């Protein structure tokens, strides 16, 4: 029977990845198309990609596929041939990472989801068949020069914070499902203007463009292939990049540099910085921006409390974090949550004092 799931520990897999001598190419792609049996589709894809030593994260749903993967360079052609053998994916655009060390993923995970993008849309009349018009890098730059053009960033605050298009409007919400109705409401006075929507790889802004059209907007565009494809096209064609800073990506790199501009600040000291990291304390793992100096001073942690816990013996750390559900912790100003771990830090401090630790 073919193996359809990983059976090796995450730590061992990451160790094996960094021991590899062959470079890997990081690729992202998506496609909205009807999938009759997502479970069967998922299992068949897992078997094929496992043989090609593909790592990454892939979601399958009745509405299509969403994937971020890495492929050994020697298997890229074989991977493309396999993918294009699937009729609905034949000729699909593949977004190749622009700033890539090949260490983005270390395990293959393919999951069946209700949707490839959680959107909260319940209207049965909504359809992805009616979506905004694609624009490439050159067209994007041209539209950005027109006064009647409005640019909307359909990403989260922590993505927008480190890089975005010039004059792009941020939709101040933590989730895509909340952003969709907010975008409609914020743009209700601009239904006749050119509205360009963009995101990391295209999947969110494509659905957002369809939602805007569904709600009566007329001139809606979305950036083909998102920021990743825009950056590659701009580089290949010698175009000025209107995207400034860093593009946040959802893999172990946590970002790929588009321009040398640093537009964000360290969340601890306020110095210019755009390096995202996860707090080293396993009971926290807050995603935040940290400069090199603060990384050294706080041992890669987000606070003194977390640094204290991080430097305790491992068994004591495990005991302290029992029963704590950290979830997805993000330093996010969109809801003025400047320290999402504050309650946890109080709990750590209380427990530490009870055990004689400071």
Find the DSSP H helices in the chain.
10-19, 38-51, 76-84, 137-144, 157-162, 176-186, 203-214, 226-237, 292-297, 304-310, 314-320, 342-354
Nearest-5° angle of CA 183, CA 92, CA 224? 30
Q: Please tell me the distance from the alpha carbon of residue 349 to that of residue 347, in angstroms, as a whole number.
A: 5
Count of C-beta atoms within a 10 Å radius of residue 260: 8
Nearest of 42, 43, 108 to residue 75 by alpha carbon = 108
Q: Say if strands 163-165 and 220-223 run parallel, antiparallel, or are unpaired.
A: unpaired
Q: How many CA atoms lie within 13 A of 275 on its CB side?
A: 12
Number of H helices, E strands in the chain: 12, 15
Find the DSSP H helices in 145-298.
157-162, 176-186, 203-214, 226-237, 292-297
In the set 199, 205, 279, 306, the catalytic residue is 199
How far, CA to CA in Å, does 284 sit from each of 121, 128, 250, 277, 350?
Answer: 32, 38, 18, 12, 16
Concerning whether 306 is annotated as a catalytic residue, the answer is: no
Q: Please tell me the distance from the alpha carbon of residue 243 to that of residue 259, in angstroms, as a whole number.
A: 8
Burial class from Cβ neighbours inside 10 Å (0-12, 13-18, 19+) for residue 217 reads buried
Q: Please tell me the distance from the alpha carbon of residue 206 to that of residue 200, in angstroms, as a whole number.
A: 11
Please give the positions annotated as active site: 199
């Amino acid at each position: 029977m073919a193996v359809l799931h990983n059976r090796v520990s995450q730590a061992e897999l990451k160790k094996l990845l960094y021991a590899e001598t062959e470079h890997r190419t990081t690729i992202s792609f998506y496609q909205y198309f009807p999938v009759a049996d997502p479970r069967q589709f998922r299992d068949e894809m897992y078997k094929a990609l496992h043989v090609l030593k593909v790592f990454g994260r892939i979601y399958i749903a009745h509405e299509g596929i969403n994937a971020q993967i890495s492929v050994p360079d020697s298997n890229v052609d074989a991977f493309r041939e396999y993918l294009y053998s699937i009729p609905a994916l034949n000729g699909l655009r593949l977004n190749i990472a622009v700033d890539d060390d090949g260490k983005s993923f270390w395990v293959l995970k393919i999951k069946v989801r209700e949707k490839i993008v959680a959107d909260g849309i319940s209207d049965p009349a909504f359809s992805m068949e009616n979506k905004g018009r694609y624009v490439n890098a050159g067209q994007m730059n041209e539209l950005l020069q027109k006064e009647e053009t409005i640019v909307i960033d359909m990403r989260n605050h922590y993505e927008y914070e480190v890089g975005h298009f010039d004059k792009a409007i941020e939709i101040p919400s933590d989730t895509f499902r909340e952003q969709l109705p907010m975008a409609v409401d914020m743009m209700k006075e601009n239904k006749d203007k050119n509205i360009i929507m963009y995101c990391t790889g295209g999947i969110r802004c494509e659905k957002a463009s369809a939602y805007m059209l569904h709600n009566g907007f007329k001139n809606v565009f979305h950036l083909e292939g998102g920021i990743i494809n825009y950056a590659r096209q701009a580089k290949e064609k010698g175009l000025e990049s209107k995207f400034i800073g860093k593009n946040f990506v959802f893999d172990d790199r946590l970002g790929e540099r588009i321009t040398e501009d640093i537009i964000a600040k360290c969340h601890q000291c306020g110095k210019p910085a755009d390096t995202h990291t996860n707090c080293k304390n396993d009971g926290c793992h807050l995603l935040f921006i940290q400069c090199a100096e603060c990384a050294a001073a706080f041992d890669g942690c987000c606070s003194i409390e977390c640094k204290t816990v991080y430097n305790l013996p491992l068994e004591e750390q495990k005991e302290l974090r029992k029963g704590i559900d950290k979830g997805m912790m993000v330093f996010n100003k969109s809801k003025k949550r400047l320290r999402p771990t504050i309650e946890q830090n109080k709990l750590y401090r209380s427990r530490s004092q009870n055990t004689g630790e400071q």
